[in-house]
Chains A and B, each alone.
Chain A
Amino acid sequence: MVLTASVRRTRHAIIGLVAILGLVGILVPQASQAVAGLGARPAYPLKNDPHTESIFIHTLSPGASVGEGVNVINSSDTDRKVLVYATDSAVSSDGAFTCAQRSEKPDSVGAWLDFGDKREVTVASHSTVLVPFTIKVPDNATVGEHEACVVVEESKAQSTSAGIHITTRSGIRVSITVPGDVKRSLEITDMHIDRTGAEPLVSLTVTNGGNVSEDLVANVVTRRALFGNGLHKDGGQFLSLSGEALTMNFPIARPRWGGWVKISSLVEIDGSGYTAKGDKVTDSSQIDRLEGADFGEPLVTMKPWDDKDELALRGPVVSMFVMPDAVALSIYSASLIAIILLVALFLIVRHYRKHPNRKGKAKAAKSTKSK
């Protein structure tokens, strides 16, 4: 086919345009699916304590004060107006740490934090604003650990539609220890199967009777009731606040074939600072044996303790019957039906073997009658 010059030029122009558009498509940065990231971090973390990169931690005597700061970070594409404020700590359900609401004026440890007049700041997109504040411990502060919160919340108008209107905010725990006679006390106070919700949970409660918080490791082990072989282990490190009962929930391990299971618990903490009494474990081999300990042990209360080794509390053992899953249930049902049919067949065959001529005799009797 012979192309005229104008056709050739047009074709070249189209090819060039397509190439340019393609290039633009590659070069122009695609709009990122950025989530509205608005949060905060401590502005002055301590090099020797990595935990201070996430939360505020101080040891302060009564009457002492310290300057602090929080970096409010806006990683979204729009400028944001942000409220920054202190609150008292609060306990959410299951003993979890949370922050009181902005509507509740701090009257406890939250009142130790002073943001001055700086409560609302505008943070430009992809930028950080440092908001300073001071922590001042009252002269009559008691010994022990005290908790508060620093919260950032976007300042925006509420929805007017029907239903539950949701506002989101981020909080940072503030942990202030007033030095002195520190008391540590932990007790496993409850373990049961919680069936109130849509899914049953193993619910383990540890009560902290001391005046400092504890980082504890709690593990729940599920074993077969018959032979004791282990099925599942769940757990983790959790924060137990002083004076509070922490409830940890774990999903129930469901062995495919179901059956009776026994669920035991073990709580481990750093034993330094405790003084001796009660059932204790001092090395990992004992911990392993305790996980397989006799069933039906009573609750163990750990009193103040002077052994510096790691400490473990063992809780009660809970038994429950777990239903097999759908596949196993089908196999069980099919097997049961097959067994019933086999037994029935066996009985029928045995019956006719015992009485082989019964049918023949009945026929003969019938024919005699008809004659």
Chain B
Amino acid sequence: MTFPQKVASSAGALVAIVVAIIAVAATVGGLVYVLASNTSSFTQNINAGTLTTDIVDGSYASVASPSVPMSTLTFSFSCQTSTGSFGTSTENIYVQNPDGADNGWTLSLAASATTDLWTSGSNTYDFNDSSGSGCTDGADADSKGGQMTVDPSGGTLLTGQCASCATTGISKGSSTPFVQDTTDSVTLLSAAAGSNDIGDWRFRGVSISQKVPGEQPAASGYALNMVLSVVAL
């Protein structure tokens, strides 16, 4: 190859490279030129949360089938009392208010129906009959005695995962027995309007005591369905 040919070949290669660069730049630059704006805006949506209640374990994971076991009794001809504790370190009563309720809230416990009974097969006894101090059947439609008392006053209220919320403005309910058509719901916690609008709390140690009538048939698996409700005010 002669010198001029070499120069021409190198120049050609150089031109090709430059053209390629320009082409790429034009393409990308052109896209940029077409699409670029003076400012780029970033958007982020944060949806508001809702007031909720749940039963959670120590890691704040929801407990699939929460229940409150009561102390075991032995058959007796006399009325006796079984006890339980609603809210433990493995099944915390949990309330979360991520700015869902700004004027306070209440947390209460009630049976799923006022006519419900503790049931194991065909064996039943009541939870809201006040007759005979809860040991005998009263004037209600069923023929069963038995009464449950719920006492939140001795429970322990703790904050949850929040960074700076407090238990200020949240009061515990007083010890209350269920009485059909008079007291069908027991207040566990009342949060005043001044309580934290953003916060979460754990509540443990709500004492439950249940009067069991004398001669109640022995059976395993007596169960009662109850509903824990949190309501925004």
Contacts and interface: CB of A to CB of B under 8 A. Distances in A.
Interface stretch (A19-27, A47-55, A60-68, A223-231): A47-55
A interface: dominant SS:
strand
A50 B123 CA distance: 51
Interface stretch (A91-99, A290-298, A342-350): A91-99
B228 interface: yes
A168 B193 contact: no
A90 B66 CA distance: 25
A238 interface: yes
B231 A163 contact: no
A164 B84 contact: yes
B117 interface: no
A247 interface: yes
Interface string A149-170: 1010100001111111111111
- Which of A40, A50, A96 lies at the interface centre, i.e. has the most chain B CB atoms within 10 A of its CB? A96
Contacts of A97: 106, 231, 233
Given A239-B233, A249-B174, A36 B50 contact: no
A93 B224 contact: no
A238 B192 contact: yes
A75 interface: yes
B84 A201 contact: no
A181 interface: no
Interface in A24-52: 33-41, 50-51
A199 B50 CA distance: 32
Nearest to A241: B233
Contact of A33 (B61, B152, B225, B229): B61
B120 to A, nearest CB: 8
Interface residues of A, number: 68
A237 interface: yes
A144 interface: no
B106 A93 contact: no
Nearest to B116: A103
Contacts of A198: 151, 153-154, 175, 207
B106 A166 contact: no
Given A55-B103, A166-B228, A171-B229, A37 B190 contact: no
A194 interface: yes
Nearest to A126: B47
Interface string A168-212: 111111000000000000000000001011110101000000000
Q: Which residue, of B69, B70, B114, B227, has the highest number of chain A Cβ atoms within 10 A?
A: B227
Nearest to B94: A35
A149 B231 contact: yes
A90 B173 CA distance: 16
Contacts of B110: 92, 98, 101
Interface stretch (B9-17, B31-39, B132-140, B179-187): B179-187
B223 A162 contact: yes
Contact of A168 (B68, B175, B195, B227): B227
Given A161-B65, A163-B70, A164-B70, A73 B104 contact: no
A109 to B, nearest CB: 15
Nearest to A194: B174
A37 B112 contact: no
B176 to A, nearest CB: 4
A128 interface: yes
B52 A38 contact: yes
A236 interface: yes
B171 A169 contact: no
A160 B223 CA distance: 8
A248 B222 CA distance: 34
Given A161-B221, A198-B151, A73 B54 contact: no
Nearest to A239: B233
B222 to A, nearest CB: 6
| Nearest 5 Cβ contacts at the A-B interface | A198-B154, A39-B50, A236-B192, A197-B153, A197-B175
Interface of A: 33-41, 50-51, 53-55, 73, 75-76, 90-94, 96-99, 101-104, 128, 149, 151, 153, 158-173, 194, 196-199, 201, 203, 215, 235-239, 247-251
29 contacts: A33-B60, A33-B161, A36-B52, A38-B52, A39-B49, A41-B100, A75-B50, A90-B185, A92-B106, A93-B174, A96-B187, A98-B229, A101-B227, A128-B47, A149-B231, A162-B220, A165-B66, A165-B224, A166-B55, A172-B232, A196-B174, A197-B174, A201-B172, A215-B193, A237-B104, A238-B193, A239-B104, A249-B171, A249-B174
